[in-house]
Structure 1
């Protein structure tokens, strides 16, 4: 099959030595399903073998890990699966890898596609029990073996808002914006050998703030994306982390800017951890989604996923393929093929034969390093300040800067001068974004000013007013800005919500947006400005850059 990825290699110079970080070779059956992945690296080797039924659902999985850098540490697993015709997982078996004998078998019981009971041949009946509301949202999960209970609250839009344990102690609380983006998470997490409350604020997917209550520390991180996948992150101290992913975008390696391994992780087929070494705190893991350790659920944007039972916790609001019987199952994960398919949004299984192409030619110090360099230089990947350009690691400017004076030049630029098919496709996409943005019409003659630093924003607006422009600004915290202390995470979250509501209303009314940009001497990026830029990008809304007031 043309375009099918057969090898994924990442290597380079680390501390003066050539190091292979990934060298995964893929084998396929005639139905295009992955049957073997052999990965040989400097520090470890892995071997995975898979079998499928007639419609491509995973039925057998064998995995082995040999930690060369850990004194040949050996780990193995063997699993098998059965499914109903409608896509429901009916059995999950754990085998002894030494002889293939079944050591535990889970039997799934359903009501309306909702798994209500899981019996274990090892632990007995009702090992796990689940309850749901009328909309199909998981509201209670009881693990009778571990003696653990999760009580789950959801809002009117079927989003999890709080999780409690069996004693009604709050494990996690979650907030969302009007589009479903999770803007805040408050949870108990292990930090420095103790559990402490951790607040995570998400002004946008490109920027996050973490507040550790016990240490009274507030830190920020910039996230860098390529093709919708997080490939790197940089904290406010300038420390960089690079994420190397596999064929379904699961993070297998986290590296620093010298190529040293910070974290290394391998997964069982449906997302349970197989082997993990190093720092556990990096956010993206299976499918590059965030694992909420307080619940064991992965946040898939539209809904949550439980890797332990290989099911989503709520029904999909979208039918994934009207003529596909497996797509009508609103709880199953990627139609039973987690080896070759991923679900970036929580809505659709995506089988991407070019998955990981951004890393096939990746050499350490090239695309990953230049991505980090771009972040240090202020090229904010994925929003209107910058974007990483395909596997060669070149950084180029975004659509606003790419739009020339006429469409013909733009289309020519999109198909020449870029070395790969992916680059051309990306350039065409940016061209389309730029054209559409340039052709938007500002309706009402009114304007707003955004940027970092409220004093500079106000000055810029007043300068425009003196030129006859009806320009306004907005201060999300009003007159209640705290004196003599930092804003609390709740105050920041509330202010971000007000700021987002204001900006959405102005874009809806057709206000012209003047942007004075980042404050070059500011040490910590503004979460308000970061969220404004993200919203503008999401809506493809045009802005006009103006100089910052001196």
Structure 2
């Protein structure tokens, strides 16, 4: 919700009645409510009676294409919020994103990431896909519908993981999902575990101390031509949900956010 102040022009006349200037006075504040998409981007703004006051239409990378009111005319209520954590700068057209500015015309930040490579290899990138990723602070992207995998500093797959490659230790193995979930079979499984619980993945990334990485991928089925598939969804003995990957997956997002 947002309190918005409106200003009303009050004509001030002198002499013959000619208006020389207008004095803008603060009107009564009004309460509005935001209706957002799954990422937190405002799509509609309504008043306390549920009437549409602002409806926004965006381009792919967050530039506001047009805004209208509930009656289809131009919106009379302003909404400066864009992608999660972004505030539209009317003078420059850029979006203030806390630690740097984002250009919605090109879908990139205009300065390098202040946390360097900890935010990813591309220092100007906002996100690989704006329909599932956000970057509220302008530092490091976060997936809103992702699966995670933590790879610790002493894990034999660390080198692959740092390159965004996830492959099973033994593609020719024939373990059951239950056997894989029991653990202690590093190097002997055709499965690779993923979890929707980011904090759990970070525990695995940090279990050997500093040097681990956090991997993430969007939820969803593989595309045509991909060399990997989902083999099973399993709940282990600790109540943890595991998505079991079969085959090799490349182009995985690599991050050290939350890692030691």
Q: Same fold (TM over 0.5)?
A: no
TM category, shorter: 0.3 to 0.5
Q: Which structure features the higher share of helix residues? A: 1
Which fold has the larger relative contact order, with Cα–Cα distance below 8 Å and residues 6 or more apart in sequence? Answer: 2
TM-score, scaled to structure 1:
0.21
TM-score, scaled to structure 2:
0.43
